[in-house]
Every structure is written in structure tokens, then in C-alpha cells.
Chain A
Amino acid sequence: MGPLVPQEIIGADWNLLIAFVIGIGFGFVLEQAGFSSSRKLAGMFYGYDTVVLKVFFTGAITAMLGLLFFSLFGWIDLNLIYVNPTFMGSAIVGGVIMGAGFIIGGFCPGTSVCAAAIGKIDAMVFIGGIFLGIFFFAEGFPLLKDFYMSGSMGPLKVSDVLGISGGVMALLVIIAALIMFKLGELAEKRWPREEY
């Protein structure tokens, strides 16, 4: 049955409207979780607020399990789901640069847009920065292209690399997440904060 648009059960004309509605849900949940506050987000890295850890991993696990169960019930064809391709070198270096941007700027792109929506001026400046950063990348692309394309491994799945099923992989992620949630709760007791 699913995914509905790629299988043309829902016409492609509807896809952008679906994107808009899904975006509303995405923005609403991020803001309700407190991801519109850079101080809450940065709290992750100092232990005084681990909301990022809890929301991020609960979200990833929920969607992961949802996909596995939908596939089991025959509701979705996982072969038609986009799996982002792995380019090892650029993924690591890009991630390191993003991590620096996260601790320096206090947002990531999605959360900055969500924060800008409720009037956070620091988030608007962050978005201006993203715009410039992408512009610099685009202009520098001829120099970066070789590195950008290096280490291509295709749409590789962790479960295939480890030679285990998707279900066992999900179980391992859940166990790891539960341990991290416990550590997060302990950290919040250790480094309490005022509410803002």
C-alpha cells in the first residue's frame, strides 16, 4: 500500500500539500518540546537539560519501529523508502562542522526556523548564517567536489553492515537509548537549572 505518493495511490499533485501539513505537525511538536529555545537545546551538552536526547531518540525509535511494523503488516514497501546514501568522508567532516555550529550557534536548521516562528531574533540571525554557509559551499563547490563525492557507499543500512535484521538493530538502538535516557535523568539531577 504505502508509500502512497511514490506508488501513485495519491497523485503527485498532492505531495506539496502533504509536505505543508506534515511540516505543521513537525513545527508544532518541536515548539511544544521546547526546541524553540537555544538554552534548552544547548543544555544537552552541559547536562542541565537533556530534552534533545529524549525527544530525538524517542522520535527516531518511534519512526524506526513504525516503519518495521508497517512493513510487517504489508502497509509499506520499504524498498520505496528513501534511504540517504553514505559518503563516509563528507558525512564525518560535514557532521563535525555541523556539531561546531550547534554548540556555537545553539540551534540546528529545523529548530532555528521553529524558534524564529515565535519571535526569537537570535534564531533569525542563525538562519541568515545558514543562508551564507550554504552560499559559501555552493560557490566553493568546484574545489570541494572531489572530497564531496569520495567514499561513496550507496544507500547502505547499518543492519546490513552488521549482518543483523532490522528488528534486532532497532532493539539495540532502543537498549542504547534507554541507557542514555537514564544517564540524562541523572545528569539533570546533578546539574539542576532554573526554568526559562
Chain B
Amino acid sequence: MMKTKYMNPYLAGVLLGLVLLMAFFFSGRGLGASGAVKSVVVSAVNVVAPEHTANSSYYSKYVGEGKSPMKAWLVFEMIGVLVGGFLSGAFSGRLKWKVEHFPKITANRRLVFAGIGGILFGFGSQLGRGCTSGSALSGMASLSVAGFVSMMAIFGTAFALAFFFRKNWI
């Protein structure tokens, strides 16, 4: 299949903004991502150790009588992201199993760093009450202080640390 090029970034940005605007207009809230993984974590722990979730000050907020953590807005939105991403990849000929990495590092090294980065991002998203989508992007659109603070902390730190991880990327 022929590969097609990526969309013009400014056009993609306008479309992303319109999707976000529709989320506000229909549901009164912005987009998100890490919250959906939180629902999966809570549900998984609840299946394995229901007594633990009932007694924990963290999990007990999300489980119990009449509460189902998977029936959440962000869970359905992220299932949509999987479908939308897949459709776009199919449409542009980019569906392929691969470990994408800078040619001068091994695939295994890339996977180890991806795992460590994921752990940090997951932890930080809970402490910071949302990730790049939920706190930074949606927060900035609604002019929230938290949105601007998240954006500057995330991007500022990534820039500040870029030098130390340059061998992985350039």
C-alpha cells in the first residue's frame, strides 16, 4: 500500500480544536486520555482484590454500589480514539506492526525507555490531575490556570531534559 503524507499541522490543529469544541458543546467537558487508563486500573484491581479497593481511600471513590468505573466518558472516548487512529492508519497506509526507533539505537533499548516513560507519565498524570489532553490542552482552551501550568511544566521539563536523552533520538 502506498504511504500518504501527514496532514498539514495547522489544518490538523484546527480540526483537533473543532473536535475539542464539540466535546465542550455536547458534553460540557474537554478531551482526556489518562483518566481512561485509570478506569482500567481501578477495574482490574477491583476484580483481583475487591476488599482492597473497598478499603482504600483512593479506589473506594470509584467502586461500590451503583458505580462502574468502565462506564465513563473517557473510557468510551478512548475506545473511539483506538477506532479513529486505526481508520486513519488504514486510510493512509500506515498500519504495520513495528517498534519505531531512531536507527542508531536497538529496538530493545527503545522498548525499555518507552516502558519507563509510560510509568512516569502515568504516575505524573494522576498527581497532576490529567495529562497533555485532559489538563494541558482542554485546560488551556477553557483558560484554566491548571491547564497553562500543566502545559508549561510538561513541555518545559521535556525541553530541559532533552539534552540528557539526545542519544535516543538524534
Which residues on A are within 8 Å of B, measured CB to CB? 2-6, 10, 15-34, 36-40, 42-46, 48, 51, 54-64, 66-67, 70, 75-76, 80-88, 90-123, 125-139, 141-142, 144-145, 148, 153, 155-159, 161, 166, 169-170, 173, 195-196
Contacts and interface: CB of A to CB of B under 8 A. Distances in A.
B118 A130 contact: yes
Interface of B: 5-7, 9-10, 12-34, 37-38, 40-42, 45, 56-59, 71, 73-74, 76-89, 92, 94-102, 110-111, 113-162, 165-166, 168-170
Given A113-B82, A134-B41, A87 B129 contact: yes
B17 A22 contact: no
B98 A121 contact: yes
Contact of A94 (B31, B97, B126): B126
B85 A36 contact: yes
Given A86-B145, A122-B101, A48 B170 contact: yes
A19 B27 contact: yes
B146 A20 contact: no
Contact of B19 (A25, A102, A125, A141): A25
Given A39-B100, A130-B118, A97 B132 contact: no
A82 to B, nearest CB: 4
A99 B155 contact: yes
Contacts of A30: 16, 81, 84-85, 88
25 contacts: A2-B24, A20-B76, A22-B77, A26-B81, A30-B16, A55-B13, A60-B17, A60-B140, A63-B30, A64-B17, A67-B24, A67-B141, A86-B145, A91-B149, A94-B124, A94-B126, A94-B127, A95-B152, A110-B133, A118-B88, A122-B111, A130-B119, A131-B37, A139-B58, A170-B143
